Amino acid sequence: MKAPNCYRGGFLSTLGPDMEKYMRMKRESGKAFARPSWDLRKFDQYCIDKGLGEPLLTRPFVDAWMASIRDLPPTSQEGLLSAVRGLADYIGTNCPQSARIPDRKKRPYKPESIFARHLEEFIETKLSLGLSYVQEQRALHSFDRFCCSQHISKAEQLLPELIDCWHGSRNRTPGMKDLRYVVREFCIFLNTRKGFNLEIIPQRFKESHPAENYRFRSAFAPLLEAFVQDKRDSGFSYDSERKILKYFDLLCVDHEVHRRELSKELVQRWSVRRPSESFGYRNKRISVIRQFAFFLVSLGHEAHVAPGSPHVVPEKPHIFKAEEIEAFFRCVDRLPLELPLMRLSAPVIFRFYYCLGLRLNEAVGLERKDVDLVSGKVEIRMAKNLKDRAVYLPDDLRTLAARYDLEIARSVPDRVMFFVSDVLGTKVNDTGLCRIFNLVWNATGFADTADKKPTIHSFRHTFVVRKLEQWYSEQVDYAYWLPYLSAHLGHSRLAETYSYIHLVDSAFPQIRCSTKAFEKMYPEVAT
């Protein structure tokens, strides 16, 4: 919609000079002021149409203008009121007799659906936890109005299809936050607190997590699905690899690959290192497609098998200092997360990583039966290279884990997973846990001074370093205890632990100078 021609030269009413000065003041303060500028042009046209003579606003004139916009949509009406209110306040600073635009006091929304009483109680529960819950309240009020419009009269009608229909009816823009999780939490509240037998929608949604629900659609689609299933039938989870195959599938779609032939040109295009991509991740991408090529050849298809990737020297990891660890756990113990059970789970699970040196998927994948809180034995099942192993909790962590288990059991008595994120016993999501880690790390005060950004895996590196430092200070025989450390870390070969020690060695030169015997334990270059 184009602006009227008369506005191309500026504002033309008697308030025009004041409007120009007001807009200039706003833009000099750093505000774009695009939408209010358009609203002021509409008000300027109204002033011209009504023949406003004096450069001030009288109360009758303001009342007549406000009456003229009552039939506009609420969003348009509020935009006009906001823009003209700011102009009126600006004029009033130089001309006190000019009328002001009163602030509209919004009446608080009163739920009216059959869930109204429970909805108010649920919101009050959230607010009592100290959460702002503004956007979530709006979503729940919108859902309440939708239930009224759909004439929902029984709790049994609150089905996932209804929630999806509400989600689709809202005015959404690309990238807008998917708020179905708020309704999901309300359904859990109705299910666990009020005794309603409701079907709970999945925790993840296609709109907010497209990678989790991606369907292959290139010419290789059925072969990619068969390849992933073959790997999973062999005992591999193959989740991160499937995400890599998603981008290979998209590459085939973008380049209009119609034949099921894995050509050398296509493999080379896939193998190009991306900007900001590490060499290690690039090698993993190539390795996945190399395995896919072997799979295609076994089925009789033509496929170029990429050569094996050269060995990449791992980057020096971040090793947490004592003060960083202290600050991290002080922050995580006070972290105000929205999910109450995650507030209980996060401090304990991060201590599992730090005290046991676990990989990311090993702690989140622990089941309740895997953790013996009497002996402290923790069973790590189907870890990397399909290895099982047992590690033991230190006494203080075992006491903390037992207290956590009792606390969680009050809300989720029959849970399967040891660490859960909600009252349904949902497994802690590793991606969400990484976001929490970043949030806590940024709150420690060390984020701007650290040598590099740490990850949850940095706890594992730190665990190894602290253990070697302890051995060094106590003059322990490294040759005797190193195989035990290798077994604790879940390494298949001792050489894997040797390469780990090289990383530690570069971070702590004092270990290199410890004893000659230690220097002879591993070759200068790990193989």
- The answer on pLDDT for 93 being more than 60 is yes
pLDDT at residue 176, rounded to an integer: 61
Q: Give per-residue pLDDT as tens, 166-199.
A: 988 876 555 566 788 889 889 888 988 888 888 8
What pLDDT sits at residue 67?
86
Assigned token pair, 239: 């989740």
* pLDDT for residue 518: 42
Higher pLDDT, 32 or 508: 32
Amino acid identity of residue 328, one-letter, is F
Average pLDDT of span 402-412: 91
User: Across residues 506-523, what is the average pLDDT?
Assistant: 46
The Cα 272–Cα 110 span in angstroms is: 57
Q: What is the mean pLDDT of residues 437-443?
A: 93
Report the percentage of the chain scoring pLDDT > 70.
85
Average of per-residue pLDDT across 345-367: 93
At residue 510, does pLDDT exceed 80? no
What is the predicted pLDDT for the residue at 20? 86
pLDDT at 209: 43
10, 45 Cβ separation under 8 angstroms: no
Query: Is residue 257 packed enough to be buried (19+ CB in 10 Å), middle (13-18) or exposed (0-12)?
Result: middle
> Please, what sign has the CA dihedral across residues 72, 75, 80, 82?
positive
pLDDT score of 486 more than 80: yes
Q: Which of 518 and 327 is assigned the larger pLDDT?
A: 327
294 confidence band (pLDDT: 50, 70, 90)? very high
Confidence grade of residue 204 (pLDDT, cut at 50, 70, 90): low
* Average pLDDT over the chain, rounded to an integer: 82
Distance between CA atoms of 57 and 219, rounded to whole angstroms? 68
Does 62 score more than 80 pLDDT?
yes
State residue 312's pLDDT score. 63
Say whether pLDDT at 7 is over 50.
no
The DSSP output letter for 14 is T
Tell me how far apart the alpha carbons of residues 156 and 152 are, in angstroms, rounded to a whole number. Answer: 9
> Could you give the angle at the alpha carbon of 175 between the alpha carbons of 174 and 177, nearest 5°?
120
Report pLDDT for 306. 87
| DSSP conformation letters of 123-177 | HHHHHHTT---HHHHHHHHHHHHHHHHTT--SGGG--HHHHHHHHHHS---TT--
Contacts of 346 (CB under 8 A, 6+ apart): 332, 335, 337, 433, 436
Decide if pLDDT at 376 tops 90: yes
Residue 189 neighbours by CB distance under 10 Å: 19
Question: Is residue 521's pLDDT more than 60?
Answer: no
Q: What is the 3-state secondary structure of 458-477? A: HHHHHHHHHHHHHHHHCCCC
Residue 207 has a pLDDT of 41
**Candidate from 445-459, 460-474, 501-515 with smallest mean pLDDT:** 501-515
- The per-residue DSSP string of 310-337 comes to PP-PPPPPP---HHHHHHHHHHHHT---
Would you place residue 289 in the very low, low, confident or very high pLDDT band (cuts 50, 70, 90)? very high
Quote the strand ranges of 367-457, DSSP E: 377-380, 389-392
**d(C-alpha 188, C-alpha 192), whole Å:** 6
pLDDT at 515 > cutoff 60 = no
Nearest to 111 by CA among 134, 129, 138, 131: 138
The token duo for 390 is 């047992």
Q: pLDDT by residue (tens digit) across 208-239?
A: 444 455 789 899 999 999 999 999 888 787 87
